[in-house]
């Protein structure tokens, strides 16, 4: 096949746009041919053949002159002596902008390290959002490169193919350009998984030979049925592409034999109401397969795709997948966003303002807006990939606003899709008027109402449960803010006590003055650092009052100096008349401790916990906040030589909001049937929650059982222990202290 000639290109454009600017096209052809000169492609063809082929692909999409010219020129700035200024002088600012966008994209490497990939993807979208035609040229450019990929050195091939399947094919799909998407996927699949591609293709051939006749029959059958009912329709049978078949096999982990719908039929009619007539006729003739009917005419996909899909059990028990659509819908399904660039009837030469009314384009804009608030390139990439690849569910707000979400989305995703603030303050949901858990998977057509409570922070655990990148990024951000707030609150309490001990006044102003010395930017940074245990409170006191004598201890200050025989012993400040209190006793300046309601920064000793009624002490660990131990816990010995890390803490229990706390017990039980059941039943009857059970059998007669449970307080725990001691299967029960 020779290179496309100048007149051929002009003829192709004239065929759909009689008012084309022939002179402009001719000048671009000549300019690019001169600029590229004798450059050769990897295939040995003259380089200039490539931009021409790209322009040719775009004439199939019937695009405007500027896009065709940009395609002809798209490699000149990057690969030749041409400059953007020169292009602007010769072809005007519009074409300069398109070529500039394409030149920028050329430099991006989209399959690089995660962070760089996200950053580059961001640049790609920013380059195309100004003018969607840049994307159309880029997709055509990529298509021609993929068609000639076998000429590229093998080590480069895989990268180009991966980038195609990860980014360009989904983008084409997202822009509604199914035909282009399928060809891109197909070509990439061939290079990424050659064995899989070969196997699937071979199996498809075999099935086609075997069932080819059936296809013809079904096609004829459909045509006859429709004609008999006076419906004008075209029917085309087609075989699915190897890539989409392989993906379905992977996704549903089924074998080739189990795949029902290798063949699909497209029924094309004139008017939307005919689509429903065809559907009725088909369902009355053949049994439909439940769950496979989808109406994208009444709710189009986000890329403007409209069709009715249904699967029926056709002749010979074969499952037949049908797509029913009008001619106009078919054009959008094939050309997607490019269909909006077709010429207005009767006034050729005036392209419709490209894709303004297209929802696919709105998606692109929205995605780019998200870029602006994305936290990091990786998060952005994760977000966009999630957005690109999932099938959609459509849900409604009570006011009827349509919210499109990926499959598997929950009311939490829905809340964030409405607005970040709605997500952050969401506490409950009603689905179709009924109260439902926030983690319910949403179905098409659900109406979702979100209940909100101000001052809420989303639990960190939500982050792993949502499916939209927007929700994930917002929860991450809100959690960071909330956790930081908690650390800062803890830090403030620790500092207030440290200043009181030093008998000095504490205020944010004083702290502000010492920020330079503390090498922190804000008061909040200092508070959070103290709360995290990254900065010692004594150092802050020193920074604020540099002339304070370092060793002088305030009277009455008590420091735990260690643990002996399970009791804390204390060194005393000078001039002290022994009015000290044990940590854990109520006291005004001890830090109040609540339950496990908050994620951070207070945790309980992982080896045995602590419950109200225990005398407790807090140990500050850098980066982890405070860990609470009962005062008799042997683990405290490890902190003997670090008095700065010990904190006075007290229980702060709200009777109105009871909370459970963690404890651990160890039992020795006699091996006989039902003894474990007896233990767990006893605990359950006494309102204890079992969190985990570990069993170890040192000899055939006995089993050692360790149980982590949560209880209301010490009295509750003691009651459970004494109840267990009553059981004759149990020879010993002790509380375990870490």
The DSSP line for 602-641 is: EEE-TTTB--BTB-EEEEEETTTEEEEEETT-GGGGGGTT
Full 3-state SS string of 575-592? CCCCCCCCCCCCCCCCEE
In a domain, 617, yes or no: yes
Query: Is the same domain home to 273 and 374?
Result: no
The pLDDT value given to residue 366: 64
The torsion region of residue 176 among left (phi > 0), alpha (psi -120 to 50) and beta comes to left
- The number of C-alpha atoms within 13 Å of 574 and in the hemisphere containing its C-beta is 3
Q: Which of 456, 479, 502 corresponds to the end of one domain? A: 479
Tell me the pLDDT of the chain averaged across its residues: 80
Question: For 472-477, what is the mean pLDDT?
Answer: 88
In a domain, 415, yes or no: yes
Query: Is the same domain home to 252 and 297?
Result: yes
- Cα(470)–Cα(382) distance, integer angstroms: 10
Q: What share of the chain is helix, strand, coil (3-state, %, to 5)?
A: 50, 20, 30
For residue 581, list its beta bridge partners: none
Query: Is the same domain home to 179 and 32?
Result: yes
**For residue range 309-325, what is the model confidence (pLDDT) as tens digits?**
998 887 767 778 899 99
Q: Which long-range contacts (CB under 8 A, 24 or more apart) does 509-517 make?
A: 510/544, 511/540, 511/544, 513/544, 514/540, 514/543, 514/544, 517/543, 517/546
What CATH number did the domain enclosing 22 receive? 1.10.3210.10
The pLDDT value given to residue 187: 94
**For residue range 34-73, what is the model confidence (pLDDT) as tens digits?**
888 888 887 788 888 899 999 999 888 888 899 999 999 9
The pLDDT value given to residue 403: 80
Distances from the Cα of 342 to the Cα of 16, 60, 200, 352, angstroms: 9, 11, 37, 7
Predicted confidence band of residue 410 (pLDDT cuts 50, 70, 90): very high
The pLDDT value given to residue 130: 66
The yes-or-no answer on residue 79 being catalytic is yes
In the three-class reduction of DSSP (H, G, I as helix; E, B as strand; rest coil), residue 173 is classed as helix
What CATH number did the domain enclosing 265 receive? 3.30.460.10
Question: Residue 307 is encoded by which pair of tokens?
Answer: 């069709």
Predicted confidence band of residue 345 (pLDDT cuts 50, 70, 90): very low
Query: Is the same domain home to 364 and 428?
Result: yes
Distances from the Cα of 368 to the Cα of 28, 105, 127, 392, angstroms: 32, 15, 10, 20
In a domain, 147, yes or no: yes
Range of the domain at 29: 6-194
The DSSP line for 437-449 is: -TTPPP-TT-BEE
The DSSP line for 693-709 is: EEEEEEETTEEEEEEEE
In a domain, 405, yes or no: yes
Contact 246, 189 (CB under 8 A): yes
The pLDDT value given to residue 61: 83
Query: Is the same domain home to 281 and 186?
Result: no
Nearby residues of 575 by Cβ (< 8 Å), 6 or more positions away: 555
- From edge to edge, which strands make up the β-sheet containing 263-269? 233-239, 263-269, 319-326, 308-313, 294-295
In a domain, 687, yes or no: yes
Contact 277, 326 (CB under 8 A): no
In a domain, 18, yes or no: yes
Q: How many domains does the chain have?
A: 5
**For residue range 514-562, what is the model confidence (pLDDT) as tens digits?**
888 888 889 998 998 888 888 888 889 988 988 876 544 444 444 444 4
pTM for the model stands at 0.53
Full 3-state SS string of 354-399? CCCCCHHHHHHHHHHHHHHHCCCHHHHHHHHHHHHHCCEEEEECCC
Burial 109-126 (b: 16+ CB within 10 A, else e): ebbeeeebbbbbbbbbbe
Question: For 151-163, what is the mean pLDDT?
Answer: 86
Residue 582 has pLDDT above 50, yes or no: no
Residue 352 has pLDDT above 70, yes or no: no
Query: Is the same domain home to 141 and 209?
Result: no
What CATH number did the domain enclosing 397 receive? 3.10.20.30
Strands (DSSP E) contained in 178-262 are 233-239
The yes-or-no answer on residue 185 being catalytic is no
- The number of C-alpha atoms within 13 Å of 46 and in the hemisphere containing its C-beta is 16
Number of continuous H segments (helices) and E segments (strands) in the chain: 27, 21
Q: Which of 634, 658, 682 corresponds to the end of one domain? A: 658
The pLDDT value given to residue 344: 40
Query: Is the same domain home to 35 and 169?
Result: yes
Query: Is the same domain home to 443 and 400?
Result: yes
**For residue range 634-651, what is the model confidence (pLDDT) as tens digits?**
888 888 888 778 888 888
The pLDDT value given to residue 341: 53
Distances from the Cα of 551 to the Cα of 73, 336, 572, angstroms: 77, 76, 13
Instruction: Give phi and psi for 609, each to the nearest 5.
Output: 60, -160
Contact 425, 454 (CB under 8 A): yes
The pLDDT value given to residue 721: 92
Question: For 182-204, what is the mean pLDDT?
Answer: 91
Rounded (10°) CA dihedral 495, 496, 502, 506: 100
Predicted confidence band of residue 368 (pLDDT cuts 50, 70, 90): low
Query: Is the same domain home to 183 and 201?
Result: no
Q: Single out the catalytic residue among 79, 86, 334, 723.
A: 79
In a domain, 89, yes or no: yes
Q: Single out the catalytic residue among 22, 45, 60, 78.
A: 78
In a domain, 326, yes or no: yes
Q: Using a pLDDT cut of 90, give the percent of the chain over it.
A: 18
Residue 282 has pLDDT above 80, yes or no: yes
Burial of residue 496 (CB within 10 Å: 0-12, 13-18, 19+) is middle
Question: For 334-353, what is the mean pLDDT?
Answer: 52
Query: Is the same domain home to 170 and 125?
Result: yes
Higher pLDDT, 384 or 171: 171
- The number of C-alpha atoms within 13 Å of 370 and in the hemisphere containing its C-beta is 30
Q: Which of 341, 372, 406 corresponds to the end of one domain? A: 341
Query: Is the same domain home to 175 and 201?
Result: no
The pLDDT value given to residue 325: 94
Query: Is the same domain home to 203 and 164?
Result: no
Strand 263-269, strand 426-431: pairing: unpaired
The torsion region of residue 358 among left (phi > 0), alpha (psi -120 to 50) and beta comes to beta
């Amino acid at each position: 096949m020779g290179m496309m000639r100048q007149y051929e290109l002009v003829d192709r454009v004239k065929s759909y746009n009689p008012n084309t600017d022939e002179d402009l096209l001719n000048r671009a052809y000549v300019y690019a041919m001169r600029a590229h000169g004798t450059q050769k492609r990897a295939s040995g063809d003259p380089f200039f053949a490539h931009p021409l082929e790209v322009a040719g692909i775009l004439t199939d999409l019937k695009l405007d002159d500027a896009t065709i010219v940009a395609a002809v020129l798209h490699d000149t700035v990057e690969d030749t002596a041409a400059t953007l200024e020169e292009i602007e002088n010769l072809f005007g600012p519009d074409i300069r902008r398109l070529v500039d966008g394409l030149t920028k994209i050329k430099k991006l490497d989209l399959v690089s390290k995660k962070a760089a990939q996200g950053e580059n993807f961001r640049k790609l979208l920013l380059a195309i959002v100004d003018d969607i035609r840049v994307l159309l040229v880029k997709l055509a450019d990529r298509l021609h490169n993929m068609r000639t990929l076998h000429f590229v050195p093998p080590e480069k091939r895989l990268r180009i193919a991966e980038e195609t399947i990860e980014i360009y094919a989904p983008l084409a799909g997202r822009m509604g350009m199914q035909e282009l998407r399928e060809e891109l996927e197909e070509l990439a699949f061939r290079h990424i998984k050659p064995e899989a591609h070969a196997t699937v293709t071979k199996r498809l051939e075999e099935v086609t030979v075997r069932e080819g006749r059936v296809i013809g029959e079904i096609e004829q059958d459909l045509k006859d049925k429709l004609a008999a009912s006076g419906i004008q329709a075209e029917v085309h049978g087609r075989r699915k592409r190897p890539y989409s078949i392989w993906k379905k096999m992977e996704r549903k982990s089924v074998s080739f034999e189990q795949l029902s719908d290798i063949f699909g039929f497209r029924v094309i009619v004139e008017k939307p109401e005919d689509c429903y007539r065809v559907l009725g006729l088909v369902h009355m003739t053949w049994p439909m397969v439940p769950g496979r009917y989808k109406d994208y005419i009444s709710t189009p996909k986000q890329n403007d795709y409209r069709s009715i899909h249904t699967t029926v059990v056709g002749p010979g028990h074969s499952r037949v997948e049908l797509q029913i659509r009008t001619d106009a819908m078919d054009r959008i399904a094939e050309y997607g966003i490019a269909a909006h660039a077709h010429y207005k009837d009767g006034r050729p030469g005036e392209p419709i303002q490209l894709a303004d009314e297209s929802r696919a384009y709105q998606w692109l804009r929205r995605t780019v807006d998200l870029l602006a608030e994305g936290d990091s390139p990786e998060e952005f990439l994760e977000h966009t990939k999630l957005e690109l690849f999932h099938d959609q569910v459509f849900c409604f707000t009570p006011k009827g606003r349509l919210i499109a979400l990926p499959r598997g989305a929950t009311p939490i995703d829905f809340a964030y899709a409405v607005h970040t603030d709605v997500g952050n303050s969401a506490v409950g949901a009603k689905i179709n008027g009924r109260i439902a858990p926030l983690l319910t998977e949403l179905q098409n057509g659900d109406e979702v109402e979100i209940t909100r409570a101000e001052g809420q922070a989303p639990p960190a655990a939500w982050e792993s449960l949502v499916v939209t990148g927007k929700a994930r990024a917002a929860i991450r951000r809100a959690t960071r803010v909330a956790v930081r707030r908690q650390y800062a609150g803890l830090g403030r309490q620790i500092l207030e006590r440290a200043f009181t001990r030093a008998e000095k006044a504490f205020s944010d102003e004083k702290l502000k003055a010492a920020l330079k010395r503390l090498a922190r930017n804000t008061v909040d940074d200092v508070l959070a650092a103290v709360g995290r245990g990254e900065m010692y409170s004594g150092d802050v006191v020193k920074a604020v009052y540099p002339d304070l004598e370092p060793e002088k201890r305030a009277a009455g200050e008590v420091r735990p100096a260690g643990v002996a025989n399970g009791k804390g012993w204390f060194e005393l400040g000078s001039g002290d008349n022994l009015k000290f209190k044990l940590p854990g006793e109520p006291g005004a300046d001890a830090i109040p401790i609540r339950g496990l309601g908050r994620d951070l920064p207070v945790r309980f000793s992982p080896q045995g916990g602590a419950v109200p009624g225990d005398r407790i002490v807090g140990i500050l660990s850098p980066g982890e906040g405070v860990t609470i131990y009962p005062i008799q816990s042997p683990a405290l010995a490890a902190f003997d030589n670090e008095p700065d890390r010990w904190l006075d803490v007290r229980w702060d229990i709200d009777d109105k909001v009871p909370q459970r706390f963690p404890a651990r017990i160890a039992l020795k039980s006699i091996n006989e049937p039902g003894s474990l059941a007896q233990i767990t039943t006893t605990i359950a009857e006494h309102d204890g929650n079992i969190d985990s059970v570990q069993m170890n059998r040192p000899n055939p007669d006995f089993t050692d059982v360790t149980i982590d449970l949560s209880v209301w307080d010490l009295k509750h725990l003691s009651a459970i222990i004494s109840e267990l001691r009553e059981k004759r299967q149990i020879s010993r029960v002790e509380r375990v202290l870490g």
